[in-house]
Amino acid sequence: MTQDSSLNRPYSAHTDVKLRIGIVGAGRGGWSLLQVLMDLPKVQVVGICDLDPKAPGLSKAKTLHVPIFTNVSDMIANQEMDWLINVTHSSLTQRHMLTREVTKPIHILDGAAAEVVWRFLTGFHQQVQQCSQSERTCAYNMVWTLINRIANAVGEMQQRLTDIAFHDPLTGLFTRRILMEFLEHEIRNTYRLSHPLSLIIMDIDHFKSINDEFGHLEGDRILQELAGLLKENHRPSDLVARIGGEEFVIVLPETDQENGMRIAERLRGQVEKSLQRPDGTPLTVSLGVAELNINDPIPQRMTPSALIECADQALYHAKNSGRNRVLPFNPDWKRIAF
């Protein structure tokens, strides 16, 4: 997938090929961007999307015969596009949410890059309205060359800042901050779409003894090796985070507890088979698995912290029952105060 480093299909002023653009967000920003893009030559708006079916831009887009969507996955799956511009002003957590949906070569503009493009285009559009047709054509050719360069430069800078802000410097995994935002988004989707959602918490067995006996550098090496294994063995839809010390969390969208247990058991076996402690003995981990139950009597009160707590209780019982094992959350252990 093409991301921020280069455009998949850069605009050329000397070709009749149109740049196909999809818009995420149908509020004021999305609607104003749509109006500008509809007036530009060599640009085709192939869709606009907003989770809120009553977003003002959706009804207005319909009058312009622009395809409207309430699910970004549907827009990406059904429309061929070169650029996807996200003007929802959401946190950069949505970068993961968007990129996991994209299986085609699409250039994603969000955050600061989308803001720059949107403001540049709207300001430019207002200024050229009084120009002649030939002057506007010349100006449009120039502006798309500039936008290509701006989108690339801002996008590369944004990606570097994103990596610093949301990735653990030791392991490269996501941090607790992005985990909580992503999990909140997935919990909302679970209730809205009635899709399953599970979560795994993994903890390295006897990790303190590694640091005590062999030093923190060896402990860091173990953490990096385990993070590498997790990166290689998770689905694009999942999110893997380090939440502190030797604890890791894996969010499993579209996954019930039974399949979450299978994934956790497979990971447990891979760790024991592939990784070693500094003394050459197998590294082992304990894992707890919890599923968000949409049939819970009080589902609207479930929070990311509560779901993590359920998996953490399962992890606690896995450790107390011998370690190097996987256990599912059992609601009979303790009623969580959501």
CATH of the domain at 145: 3.40.50.720
Catalytic residue set: 246
In terms of domains, do 28 and 155 share one? yes
Residue 248's SS3 state is: strand
In terms of domains, do 269 and 296 share one? yes
Answer yes or no: is 4 within a domain: no
In terms of domains, do 131 and 240 share one? no
Give me the amino acid identity at 41. P
What sign results for the dihedral spanned by CA atoms 270, 272, 278, 281?
A: negative
Answer yes or no: is 5 within a domain: no
Query: Residue 285 burial by CB count (10 A; 0-12/13-18/19+): exposed, middle or buried?
Result: buried
Could you read off the pLDDT tens digit of each residue along the chain, which spans 338 residues? 333 333 344 444 445 678 899 999 898 888 888 988 887 777 899 999 988 888 988 988 999 999 999 878 788 888 998 888 888 865 555 555 555 555 567 777 777 677 777 777 777 777 777 778 777 777 777 777 777 777 677 667 766 776 777 889 999 999 998 899 889 888 988 888 888 999 999 999 999 999 999 999 999 999 999 999 999 998 888 999 999 899 999 999 999 999 999 999 999 999 999 999 999 999 999 999 999 987 765 555 689 999 999 999 999 999 999 999 999 999 887 544 43
In terms of domains, do 182 and 324 share one? yes
Answer yes or no: is 1 within a domain: no
Angle, helices 216-232/257-274, rounded to nearest 10 degrees = 130
Cβ atoms of 86 and 108 within 8 Å: the answer is yes
In terms of domains, do 196 and 152 share one? no
In terms of domains, do 105 and 184 share one? no
Measured in residues, the chain has a length of 338
In terms of domains, do 68 and 184 share one? no
Looking at 134, 161, 188, the residue that finishes a domain is 161
Answer yes or no: is 245 within a domain: yes
Looking at 129, 161, 193, the residue that finishes a domain is 161
Give which of 264, 275, 257 is closest to 201, Cα–Cα. 264
Answer yes or no: is 11 within a domain: no
In terms of domains, do 152 and 58 share one? yes
Long-range contacts of 271-276 (CB under 8 A, 24+ apart): 271/226, 271/229, 272/324, 274/229, 275/222, 275/225, 275/226, 275/229
Long-range contacts of 93-99 (CB under 8 A, 24+ apart): 93/166, 93/178, 93/181, 93/182, 93/185, 94/185, 95/162, 96/174, 96/178, 96/182, 96/239, 97/182, 97/185, 98/24, 98/72, 99/1, 99/3
Looking at 161, 190, 212, the residue that finishes a domain is 161
Q: Model pTM? A: 0.70
In terms of domains, do 156 and 204 share one? no
Answer yes or no: is 243 within a domain: yes
Answer yes or no: is 2 within a domain: no
Which CATH number do you get for residue 205?
Answer: 3.30.70.270
Long-range contacts of 326-333 (CB under 8 A, 24+ apart): 326/261, 326/264, 326/265, 326/268, 326/286, 326/287, 326/288, 326/289, 327/287, 327/288, 327/289, 328/257, 328/260, 328/261, 328/288, 328/289, 328/290, 328/291, 329/257, 329/288, 329/289, 329/290, 329/291
Give me the amino acid identity at 279. D
In terms of domains, do 51 and 144 share one? yes
Answer yes or no: is 58 within a domain: yes
Structural domain count of the chain: 2
In terms of domains, do 120 and 188 share one? no
Note down the domain range covering 34.
Answer: 19-161
In terms of domains, do 74 and 106 share one? yes
